[in-house]
Amino acid sequence: MEPYEPLLAETFGLAYIGAMVSLALYGFTTLQTYLYFSYYPNDNGRLKIFVATLWILETLHIIFVNQFLYIYLIINFGEPLALLRGHWTLRTSVLLNVIIAAFVQIFFTTRIHLLSKNYILSGVLGFFILAHIAFGIETVVRIFERTLFTELRKIKFNSAVPLSISTVVPDVLISASLCYYLKSKKDGTYAASVAELVLLLVLPNSFAYMAVDFCLGKLFANALLATLNTRNYIRGIGSDIVMSDFDAAKIESGIGGQDFTSNSHRGSSLQVRISRIPEGGFSESQRSDKSGPIFLDVSGALNSKDLKERPASAHFIV
């Protein structure tokens, strides 16, 4: 065994493992991005641009991570002295992670503020997110100033540790707030942030913290995309359900004198959109509007366990 092999395993070996896990998470990111654009084509254009931008940043990040490993483990194979110097691809990947984390935290902070109207909570979250961005930029600048990996220990306490703390605090607050206001969980990201901070403090000479950092941005992106893609499931309403060969005889219409039990309506393929009945019911103009959508009361045909709030109406598009 060469004398430098144990050191190589504790540094670039761990970085390689982190990169492979990150690559797998990128696959989930890509899948969730595809599902988002497939399931929510009518979403706001700005939200679509936001999701597309997030995926592009993730794509650039995984490209830089893999290029970093290719340069060190393939091009410089058998040249241990070449492994001592940092490369711009690694530094750039750190910057991209800072941007991705900030994007996701800003998104969730905005969502929490709209739900809670709690300006104190929003202000605290905003403060730590700004601190995260500031320490992130400072850390990247200091990394670019130092060409040797052995010099990175010098920035541990004045940049890297504050960066990790400013990532952990808002993420814990965001997770707790989402659990409280939405009864949903955003697990994984704050645990990974804490793990990176601990590894940076306990094992500063290894690349264990770097392996976690490679995955951190993917965890943030997947948490956001999972939240977007499960909106209809969480609400229990609003999802589009396609029902073929619908038994129209089970529905009796009281709108416009139309009889949906007649043979002309049997065996039709209907698209059903479940939506809440407006507070106070529908107005007379909505009831008499022949050109608008037809609303039928089918609350009795729905599973009441799935409707935890008000009865539902069905919007039929024949």
Q: Which domain holds residue 69?
A: 5-231
Asked if residue 202 and residue 80 are part of one domain, the reply reads yes
Q: Which of 207, 231, 255 represents a domain boundary (last residue)?
A: 231
pLDDT tens per residue, range 4-47: 566 777 788 889 999 999 999 999 999 999 999 999 999 999 99
CB 32 within 8 A of CB 222: yes
CB 213 within 8 A of CB 198: no
Quote the number of domains for the chain. 2
Q: How far is CA 222 from CA 35, 38, 194, 229, 310, in A?
A: 12, 16, 18, 10, 32
Q: What is the CATH number of the domain that holds 59?
A: 1.20.1070
pLDDT tens per residue, range 87-116: 888 889 989 999 999 999 999 999 889 888
pLDDT tens per residue, range 116-168: 888 999 999 999 999 999 988 888 888 887 777 777 777 766 777 888 888 88
pLDDT tens per residue, range 189-226: 778 878 888 888 888 788 888 889 899 889 999 999 99
Q: Which two tokens stand for residue 280?
A: 């106070």
Hey, which residues does 314 pair with through a beta bridge?
274, 296
Asked if residue 52 and residue 169 are part of one domain, the reply reads yes
Q: Which of 212, 231, 250 represents a domain boundary (last residue)?
A: 231
Number of residues that make up the chain: 318
Asked if residue 214 and residue 280 are part of one domain, the reply reads no
Asked if residue 274 and residue 148 are part of one domain, the reply reads no
Q: Which of 168, 199, 231 represents a domain boundary (last residue)?
A: 231
Asked if residue 215 and residue 252 are part of one domain, the reply reads no
Q: How far is CA 287 from CA 68, 138, 295, 299, in A?
A: 64, 61, 8, 17
Asked if residue 136 and residue 216 are part of one domain, the reply reads yes
Phi, psi values for residue 122, rounded to 5°: -65, -40
Asked if residue 124 and residue 50 are part of one domain, the reply reads yes
